[in-house]
Amino acid sequence: MIQNLLFLIFGTVTGTITGLIPGIHPNTIIPISIVLFPYFGSSNYFSFLIGLLISHYFLNYITSAFIGVPDDESAVAAVPMHNLTILGRGYEAVVLAGFGAFFGIIFSILIFMIISTINIDFYSFYSNLKPFIPYILILFMVISIIFSKSRVWTTLIILFSGILGIIVFYKNPSFDYSLTVIFTGMFGIPLLFENLNKKELGSQFISFPEIKFSYLKSAIFGTFGGFLRIFIPATGGAQMNYFLSKLIKEENLENFIISQGSITLSNELFSILAIMMIGTGRSGVSEAIKSLKIEYVTSELFANVTIATGLSFLILTVVSKYFLQNINKFDYGQISKVLIVFCTILMIILSFKTYMVYHIVIYLVSISIGILCVKKRVNLSNMMGVLIFPTILYFLKI
């Protein structure tokens, strides 16, 4: 166990670094890390993967909140977190997301322990749910349009992003980094453009937020969303975030951020548990565990996840505080310019050997849709049509 702990800590440190680099996703790192598998051994590599996964998503809240460049799983939460940062509450934003993630892990473990004692046929449940999924997705989009402030532009943004999604994910072969290219273009670059004229982030109040009972309710709701994710193939945590954004009032930024932190981490844990529950994984890490035939028991998984969550939350509070105390020493607009160039170069590198021109075009189209969404003040969550449209077609078998 002590040896496993060392590899867990190594994974946590690695995830801390990748989480702070815009445009990097665990699915980008995992194929590279597989070369370590023969040297680490099955058990140690498993601990390394868990540490990397958990810490990456915790630390990614910093780039989402302070700079506005999210990971694809935290894209919908990026705007509320960035809005709090502009109000001088950036530290509160990342700590709330961290609380949500922490509670999401705890509640996920409790939910799994409860359902494991109940004889539930999940295969039958999924079979009964499957025919209704496309209509549920359509209903969410209709609700989004009805309650939007600009129905015309909301409809157009949903259609534009949906058409792009159909072309990339349904009509043509997609790759592990295709989603990273699209989400960086849609959610990251447009917000960086908005920051170009800012000289500094502004004064920040660094203090722990007061924990409210409503935060626990939001975390439970988010955890339930993460659980539902395992029954919906061809969808990701970002889509579940989209659904929650329509069910939770976004005016309450604190509760919204808590729920997003919860669903992101519970989503990842349930994705691994899906191997055991329905025989298939729902994430890059779970697929790596399955393909490498890594055997584990739930007690080992929960021990690794709990330790990694505690370490990651501690690192998040320290690094975010240091970040906020020093960021105003630099020109915020120049930081945005550097990140725009960096993200663009990274997208080119990721697709260099596989349809580079194709992915550059996708990247530019995604940026265009994102800029239009920002300029017309349409909720950025409506760009999740890029995933919802191809998912609807998948289930309808069109």
Query: How crowded is the C-beta side of 377, counted as CA atoms within 13 Å?
Result: 3
Q: How far apart are CA 207 and CA 44, in angstroms?
A: 37
d(CA 223, CA 85): 25
Domain housing 128: 1-396
| Structure tokens that stand for 19 in this block | 């989480």
Residues in contact with 227: Cβ distance below 8 Å, sequence separation at least 6, in sequence order: 108, 111, 266, 270
Q: Distance (Å, rounded) from C-alpha 92 to C-alpha 150?
A: 30
- Those residues whose C-beta lies under 8 Å from the C-beta of residue 52, and which sit 6 or more positions away, are 11, 12, 14, 15, 18, 26, 29, 33
**Residue whose pair of structure tokens reads 């951020």 in the numeric block:** 257
State the CB neighbour count (10 A cutoff) for residue 88. 15
Overall number of domains in the chain: 1
Angle (deg, nearest 10), helices 385-396 and 151-165: 60
**CA gap 362, 228 in Å, rounded:** 30
How far apart CA 100 and CA 116 sit, in angstroms, is 24
Buried b (16+ CB within 10 A) or exposed e, 14-25: bbbebbebbbbb
In order along its 398 residues, the chain shows pLDDT tens digits of 556 889 999 999 999 998 888 767 776 777 778 888 888 888 888 999 999 999 999 998 988 888 766 665 666 667 778 778 888 888 999 999 999 999 999 999 998 888 888 877 777 777 788 888 888 888 878 888 887 888 999 999 999 999 999 999 887 776 667 888 898 898 888 888 888 887 777 788 888 888 888 888 889 888 988 887 777 655 555 556 556 655 655 457 788 888 888 988 998 888 888 777 766 666 667 777 777 777 778 888 899 999 999 999 999 999 999 988 888 888 888 888 998 998 899 889 888 877 889 999 999 999 999 999 988 988 777 888 898 899 899 888 87
Dist. CA 386–CA 366, nearest whole Å:
10
One-character DSSP codes across 371-389: HHHHHTT--GGGGGHHHHH
